[in-house]
Amino acid sequence: MNAVFDITILEGTATAGTGAYMTQIDYSVGGELATSGIASEIDAEALYEKCMVLAHNLWWSWQPEVTNLFRDIDPIRWRQLDHNPIALLREFTPDRLAIRASEMVLHSRVNYAYRRLHEYLESSNTWAQTNAGVLGSKPVAYFSAEFGLHESLPVYSGGLGVLSGDHVKSASGLGVPLVGIGLYYSHGYFKQALSGDGYQKEEYFETKVEDLPLEAALLPDGTPLVVGIDTRNGRLLAKVWRVQVGRVRLFLLDCNVEGNRPEDRELTSRLYGGDERTRIRQELVLGVGGVRALRALGITPGAYHLNEGHSAFAPLEVIRERMFDDGMSFDDACREVSQATIFTTHTPVPAGHDRFSGALIEEHLGPLRDLLGISHDHLMSIGRVQTSDPNEPFCMTVIGLKLSRTANAVSQLHGHISRRMWRSLWPQREENNIPIGHITNGVHIESWLAGQMQQLYDRHFPANWKTHMGEPDVWQFIHSVDPGELWETHNALKNLLLSFVRRRVSRQCRRRGESDEIIEAARSVLSPNVLTIGFGRRFATYKRANLIFSNLDRIAGLINNPDRPVQLIFAGKAHPKDEPGKRFIQEIANLRHDSRFAGKVAFIEDYDINVCRHLIQGVDVWLNNPRRPLEASGTSGQKTVLNGGLNCSILDGWWAEAYDGSNGFAIGKGTSHSEDRITDTRDSDYLYETLEQSVIPTFYDRDRDGLPRSWIKMMMNSISTLAWRFSSHRMVMDYTRVAYVPASGGLSCEIKVR
Ligand X SMILES: *Cc1c(COP(=O)(O)O)cnc(C)c1O
- E strand or H helix at 200: strand 200-203
**Out of 158, 177, 246, 289, which residue is the one contacting ligand X (CB under 6 A)?**
158
Neighbours of 479 (CB within 10 A): 12
Instruction: Give the separation between CA 397 and CA 401, rounded to whole angstroms.
Output: 6
Q: Say how far apart CA 619 and CA 531 lie, in whole Å.
A: 8
Choices 130-138, 230-238, 603-611, 698-706 (CB under 6 A): range interacting with ligand X = 603-611
Instruction: Tell me if 730 contacts ligand X by CB under 6 A.
Output: no
Nearer to ligand X, 538 or 582 (CB): 538
Least Å distance, CB 563 to ligand X, is 31
For residue 398, the minimal CB distance to ligand X (Å) is 25
Residue 581 within binding range of ligand X, rule CB under 6 A: no
From 154, 442, 470, 634, residue interacting with ligand X (rule: CB under 6 A): 634
Cis bond upstream, residue 629 (ω within 30) = yes
- Residue among 608, 680, 683, 734 that touches ligand X (CB under 6 A): 608
Report if residue 648 touches ligand X, rule: CB under 6 A.
no
Nearer to ligand X, 255 or 417 (CB): 417
Is residue 159 involved in binding ligand X (CB under 6 A)?
yes
Rounded distance, CA 142 to CA 139, Å? Answer: 9
Which span sits near ligand X by CB under 6 A: 206-214, 267-275, 321-329, 606-614? 606-614
Task: Locate the DSSP E strands across 440-517.
Answer: none
Q: Which of 613, 596, 595, 530 is nearest to 604 (CA)?
A: 613
Identity of the residue numbered 377: D
Closest approach, Cβ 616 to ligand X, in A, equals 8
Which listed residue (625, 636, 647, 727) binds ligand X by CB under 6 A? 636
Helix 358-372 to helix 314-326 angle (10° resolution) is 20
Cβ 608 to ligand X shortest distance, Å? 5
Spatial separation of the C-alpha atoms in residues 408 and 438, rounded to whole Å: 5
CA distances from 624 to 16, 546, 559, 652, 687 (A): 25, 11, 18, 9, 10
Report the alpha-carbon distance of residue 201 to residue 179 in Å, rounded.
36
Options 347-355, 454-462, 634-642, 732-740: segment touching ligand X (CB under 6 A): 634-642
Cα dihedral 407, 410, 414, 420, rounded to 10, equals -10
Closer residue to ligand X (CB): 461 or 535: 535
Given the complex with ligand X, which of 51 and 650 has the nearer CB atom?
650
- Contacts with ligand X in 274-313 (CB under 6 A)? none
CA atoms of 679 and 32, how far apart (whole Å): 69
Which member of 170, 269, 345, 635 binds ligand X (CB under 6 A)?
A: 635
- 520-539 mask for ligand X (x: CB under 6 A)? -----------------xx-
Residue placing its CB nearer to ligand X in the complex, 635 or 663: 635
Judged by CB under 6 A, does residue 162 bind ligand X? yes
486 binds ligand X (CB under 6 A): no
Instruction: Evaluate whether 282 touches 308 at the Cβ level (below 8 Å).
Output: no
End-to-end CA distance of the chain: 43
# chain residues binding ligand X, by CB under 6 A: 12
Nearest distance from C-beta of residue 25 to ligand X, angstroms: 30
- In this chain, which stretch among 154-162, 560-568, 678-686, 694-702 interacts with ligand X, using CB under 6 A? 154-162
Query: Is the CB of 281 or the CB of 614 nearer to ligand X?
Result: 614
Site track 329-368 with ligand X (rule: CB under 6 A), x = hit:
----------------------------------------
Q: Tell the smallest beta-carbon distance from residue 539 to ligand X (Å).
A: 10
The strand pairing partners of 498, in sequence order, are none
Distance CA 743, CA 178 (A): 13
Asked if 176 touches ligand X (CB under 6 A), the answer is no
In angstroms, rounded to a whole number, what is the distance separating the alpha carbons of residues 419 and 19? 44
CB of 188 to ligand X, least distance (A): 12
Residues 375-434 that bind ligand X (CB under 6 A): none
In one-letter notation, the amino acid at residue 510 is R
Query: Between the CA atoms of 266, 272, 275 and 277, what dihedral angle is there, to the nearest 10 degrees?
Result: 70
Q: For the CB of residue 448, give the shortest distance to ligand X in the complex, in Å.
A: 8
CB of 636 to ligand X, least distance (A): 3
Instruction: Name the residue nearer to ligand X (CB basis): 164 or 260.
Output: 164
Minimum distance of ligand X from residue 501's CB (angstroms): 16
| Per CB under 6 A, 609 contacts ligand X | yes
Q: How far is the CB of 609 from ligand X (least distance, A)?
A: 5
Residues 536-555 that bind ligand X (CB under 6 A): 537-538
218-257: string of b/e by CB count within 10 Å (b at 16+)?
A: eeeeeeebbbebbbeeeebbbbbbbbbbbbbbbbbbbbbb
Phi, psi of 200 (to 5 degrees): -75, 130
Nearer to ligand X, 143 or 654 (CB): 654
The interface region with ligand X, picked from 360-368, 490-498, 527-535, 601-609 by CB under 6 A, is 601-609
Nearer to ligand X, 273 or 287 (CB): 273
Q: Closest separation between CB of residue 649 and ligand X, Å?
A: 9
DSSP collapsed to 3 states, 389-419: CCCCCEEHHHHHHHCCCEEEECCHHHHHHHH
- CB of residue 396 to ligand X, shortest distance in Å: 21
Q: How far is the CB of 582 from ligand X (least distance, A)?
A: 17
**CB closer to ligand X, 169 vs 292:** 169
CB nearer ligand X, residue 454 or residue 635: 635
- Using an 8 Å Cβ cutoff, are 665 and 648 in contact? yes
- CB nearer to ligand X: give 175 or 451: 451
* Alpha carbon distance 752, 754 (integer Å): 6
Q: Which is nearer to ligand X, 189 or 304 (CB)?
A: 189
The distance between the two most distant Cα atoms of the chain, rounded to a whole number of Å, is: 82
Angle at alpha carbon of residue 175, lines to 169 and 181, rounded to 5°: 50
Q: For ligand X, give the closer residue by CB, 287 or 634.
A: 634
Please answer whether residues 82 and 151 qualify as being in contact, where contact means their C-beta atoms are separated by less than 8 angstroms: yes
CB of 629 to ligand X, least distance (A): 14
Is 163 or 229 the residue whose CB approaches ligand X more closely? 163
Cα 753 vs. chain centroid, distance in angstroms?
A: 24
The residue among 226 and 609 lying less far from ligand X, judged by its C-beta, is 609
Who contacts 453 (Cβ-Cβ below 8 Å, separation ≥6)? Answer: 489, 493, 617, 642, 643, 644
| Piece of 225-233, 323-331, 518-526, 605-613 that binds ligand X (CB under 6 A) | 605-613
64-73 and 107-122 helices, crossing angle to 10°:
140
Tell whether residue 612 is a contact of ligand X (CB under 6 A): yes
Query: What residues make contact with ligand X under the rule CB under 6 A?
Result: 158-159, 162, 537-538, 607-609, 612, 634-636
